[in-house]
Chain A
């Protein structure tokens, strides 16, 4: 991150400076650093709107904080630091465009427009406009004309402020690949003129789906990576939840509530889902006293709000299923019939074989393995989940419950051959060893 370099600069040391510094000792580099973490993404979002260019806005953001580091310790904290940063960044960018000899035409036009405007436009401080800028940035980064990989990389970089290195590590890819992905996406935003705007009410449901999917994928990437860097995985989950709250604050749609509820409810189980050694523990075997009650409460409340609206969607339904699990004292005391009914409803929105698989597992819990087995066998015969290890694992579980150890072992071996995740491999190997 470019900004971090700024802090390593030696402070100004003239006596007058020192004296003034004492007077304003509240504003230290640490104060500004904290402000950077809190405000930089919002300032960036507004600068992108004002400047109409990602690169220019990023440079302006860095310049604004450089100025803050020089001026605030001397002059004290401005009344509205965010507005100060935006207008400083904006003026720096205007200077820069003026200085550049080879200017792009649209920037020249923009400059001409700016000169006609009042210096410090009053709208800059309006909260609503600020919030809208964050939404604009989210919808631009998650524009459906960009690939899903690009959407995720841009979101993490521009909205969450992660570095390219962090993104590369989190997605087990190279920094060069991520950097290229981001550059290509920004070029497309500029050259194809992807607008920096909030979708119209007619477009909103479709566009929101793309944003929610990015948030969901972010969380899953963090949640399912049991190998890899724990801290980064937690960071991904935390960022996904933060984005969920941000979206909720900006646009309280039923599916946004549903998704956030789903994330919170999954997150509530994070301490119970692995042993101290990192071995997986499945839901029925988890120590439920380790579940995070405050997250469960927040999640359940959101599910209720989400389902009380007229528009029920797949995230709300999945969250409702997660809420039923979260509120049950044990696997046996879970309201399986209601979970089956929710899966039936979910299947109407998402007619996917994965939903059928989960539904069959719920049926095995409610009505016994013999009832569920033909459902799973039908799924197996359809071949749609031929590469999905969880179907083999579920088939293995059912065979084991029915006392058919030989078949169970074969299915566990098939599942093992289809997963690349180390923790899952160890988990399945253990099952196989026990059946030997």
Chain B
């Protein structure tokens, strides 16, 4: 099973709390998941100031400056992992250093029915 682990956090606090993870720790964890063979992809994201939201309506591409919704916590990064079941995915998610200051939403990937 593939699971997407979405890392949410208050951007302003993500790097400023005592328990905030440093980049080197995040990198080390990603490397460990990679080593275990369960990593499909993982990236950290730039803050929402840099976001552009795209919609297509009546054939026209509409752009908005900013994220699609203003929320208390923002998407800060993601892991796409291969796990045997939800328990294993939860274990991987709990190891993401940013989980200490933010939250990780674990979502199973849906197979497109084609």
Interface, chain A (partner B; CB < 8 A): 143, 145, 191-195, 197, 199, 203
Say if the beta carbon of B21 comes within 8 Å of chain A: no
Q: What's the Cα separation between A192 and B90 when bound, in Å?
A: 11
Interface residue ranges of B61-114 to A (CB < 8 Å):
84-87, 90, 106, 108, 110
Q: What's the Cα separation between A143 and B89 when bound, in Å?
A: 14
A193 and B90 form a contact (CB under 8 A): no
Selected contact of B108 from candidates A191, A195, A197, A203, CB within 8 Å:
A191
Q: What's the Cα separation between A199 and B84 when bound, in Å?
A: 14
Say if the beta carbon of B1 comes within 8 Å of chain A: yes
| Residues in A neighbouring B108, C-beta threshold 8 A | 191-193
Selected contact of A195 from candidates B86, B106, B110, CB within 8 Å:
B86
The interface residues of chain B, by DSSP majority, are classed as mixed
Q: What's the Cα separation between A203 and B1 when bound, in Å?
A: 21
Interface, chain B (partner A; CB < 8 A): 1, 84-87, 90, 106, 108, 110
| Residues in B neighbouring A195, C-beta threshold 8 A | 84-87
Selected contact of B86 from candidates A193, A199, A203, CB within 8 Å:
A193
Q: What's the Cα separation between A191 and B1 when bound, in Å?
A: 10
Interface centre among B84, B85, B86 (most CB of A within 10 A): B86
10 closest cross-chain pairs (CB), A and B: A195-B85, A193-B85, A192-B108, A194-B86, A192-B86, A193-B1, A193-B86, A195-B87, A191-B108, A145-B86
Q: What's the Cα separation between A357 and B106 when bound, in Å?
A: 39
**15 A–B pairs (Cβ distance < 8 Å), ordered by A:** A143-B86, A145-B86, A145-B90, A191-B108, A192-B86, A192-B108, A193-B1, A193-B84, A193-B85, A193-B86, A194-B86, A195-B84, A195-B87, A199-B87, A203-B87
Could you tell me the distance in whole angstroms from the C-beta of A235 to the nearest C-beta in chain B? 32
Closest to B90 in A: A145
Closest to A144 in B: B90
Could you tell me the distance in whole angstroms from the C-beta of A180 to the nearest C-beta in chain B? 20
Q: What's the Cα separation between A193 and B109 when bound, in Å?
A: 11
| Residues in B neighbouring A145, C-beta threshold 8 A | 86, 90
Could you tell me the distance in whole angstroms from the C-beta of B92 to the nearest C-beta in chain A? 13
Q: What's the Cα separation between A25 and B16 when bound, in Å?
A: 78
Q: What's the Cα separation between A143 and B90 when bound, in Å?
A: 12
Closest to A143 in B: B86
Interface centre among A145, A193, A194, A195 (most CB of B within 10 A): A193
Q: What's the Cα separation between A36 and B91 when bound, in Å?
A: 39
Closest to A195 in B: B85
Closest to A207 in B: B87
| Residues in A neighbouring B106, C-beta threshold 8 A | 192
Could you tell me the distance in whole angstroms from the C-beta of B17 to the nearest C-beta in chain A? 23
Q: What's the Cα separation between A203 and B110 when bound, in Å?
A: 28
Q: What's the Cα separation between A182 and B15 when bound, in Å?
A: 41
| Residues in A neighbouring B110, C-beta threshold 8 A | 191
Query: Besides the contacts A145-B90, A193-B85, A195-B85, what 20 more A-B pairs have beta carbons closer than 8 Å?
Result: A143-B86, A145-B86, A191-B108, A191-B110, A192-B86, A192-B106, A192-B108, A193-B1, A193-B84, A193-B86, A193-B108, A194-B85, A194-B86, A194-B87, A195-B84, A195-B86, A195-B87, A197-B87, A199-B87, A203-B87
Q: What's the Cα separation between A208 and B63 when bound, in Å?
A: 50
Interface centre among A192, A195, A199 (most CB of B within 10 A): A192
Q: What's the Cα separation between A145 and B94 when bound, in Å?
A: 13
| Residues in A neighbouring B87, C-beta threshold 8 A | 194-195, 197, 199, 203
Q: What's the Cα separation between A203 and B94 when bound, in Å?
A: 13
Could you tell me the distance in whole angstroms from the C-beta of B9 to the nearest C-beta in chain A? 21
Could you tell me the distance in whole angstroms from the C-beta of A192 to the nearest C-beta in chain B? 5
Q: What's the Cα separation between A145 and B110 when bound, in Å?
A: 18
| Residues in B neighbouring A194, C-beta threshold 8 A | 85-87
